[in-house]
Amino acid sequence: MIDHLIRYLEATGFSNLTLDHVIMIGVACLLIYLAIAKKFEPLLLIPIGFGALLINLPANGLMAPPHGEEIGGLFWYIYHGIKLEIFPPLIFLGIGAMTDFGPLIANPRMLLLGAAAQFGIFATLLGAVAMGFTPTEAASIGIIGGADGPTSIFVSAKLAPHLLGPIAVAAYSYMALVPLIQPPIMKLLTTKRERRIVMVNLRNVSRIEKILFPIAVTILCILLVPASSALIGLLMFGNLLRESGIVERLSRTAQNEMINIITILLGLSVGMTMTTDFLSWGTIKILILGVLAFSFATAAGILIAKFMNLLTKNPINPLIGAAGVSAVPMAARVAHTVGQKENPQNYLLMHAMGPNVAGVIGTAVAAGVLIAILS
């Protein structure tokens, strides 16, 4: 009887608890605190934080692989939604169903600003290589600059799955910090006069244009970058559901029930990758590179907008260049808010949504290019 009791005690989490586990439990609780108290991307950071909490309670077997006739832990199976590249594209399906590409269709020049913001990805990739990361690891870290959490997870799961936890945490944390990171860069790179520029009103976009847009983008992007098929394909499929106007039930499901369920499973699965290996100098370097990626992407969008003003009759407010990162619609709101502080009568939100949604497409294409080259 005593032997059974001893074996039971040895199998408890308390007997297997280490200092690293305690620290990671503290990190998990910090993520939950930031999500609830500071509202830092709560839809993802609460599931990620709780997943990290679960995986760092020793001996629970949630991520145990199957062995012989024994089935594996619950999250060993759920994690395959990331490993098999299922969850991120389904998130894109929901994003597509929620996105209005009208501002981009009305002003196609904004594609250039969405593309310019991808400079942050490639600049950070080079920086990560210089800091000692392998090319596949550097590409996964660089995608943080696109300010797109699902794409960051998609690329890192394919190219550097061992870095999935810190990359996902960095991507979503900095997305939440966009209102703090971007305004100082905006003010540094623009003059007061530029921030006060009032742009010409956007034209009305017809229903047929909105229907044709996702079809045309799907054909063009996938022919150019086949590796982006899953992300671009489902993003545009979701948008077609929205714009067709005849499948309201499917569109609502993609926007609500489906994306909410996938978000929960995705967040918990990412959190489950945050084992004690998370505590490393590599994680700190990823967090540093992440903020540099956002900064480079923001600056590139602004500078390209300023350059475009040298070539166009209708001036662009350079602030909307910062919205080229694909943190939709947060980056667009930040550009609008900064602009209104200089000119309360200036409404930049819809103009900023053009590069903002272009950034979503741009990041997915950039991800496809990196995967095609490095996979």
CB 123 within 8 A of CB 147: no
CB 116 within 8 A of CB 304: yes
Lowest mean pLDDT among 2-6, 38-42, 82-86: 2-6
Which residues are CB-neighbours of 164 under 8 A, at least 6 positions away?
Answer: 82, 153, 156, 157, 270, 273
Lowest mean pLDDT among 7-21, 154-168, 217-231, 280-294: 7-21
CB 262 within 8 A of CB 90: yes
At residue 311, does pLDDT exceed 90? Answer: no
Work out the average pLDDT over 348-354.
93
In the numeric block, which tokens belong to residue 305? 């907008």
At position 299, the amino acid (one-letter code) is A
Per-residue confidence at 290, pLDDT binned at 50, 70, 90?
A: confident
Q: Count of CB atoms within 10 A of residue 215's CB?
A: 13
- Reference 304, options 165, 174, 30, 114; nearest CA is 114
Q: Residue 145: its pLDDT value, please?
A: 79
The length of the chain is 375
Global model pTM greater than 0.85: yes
Per-residue confidence at 116, pLDDT binned at 50, 70, 90?
A: confident
* Dihedral angle over CA of 55, 59, 63, 67, nearest 10: 170
Work out the average pLDDT over 232-249.
96
3 state SS of 28? helix
Cα separation, 359 vs 375, whole angstroms = 23
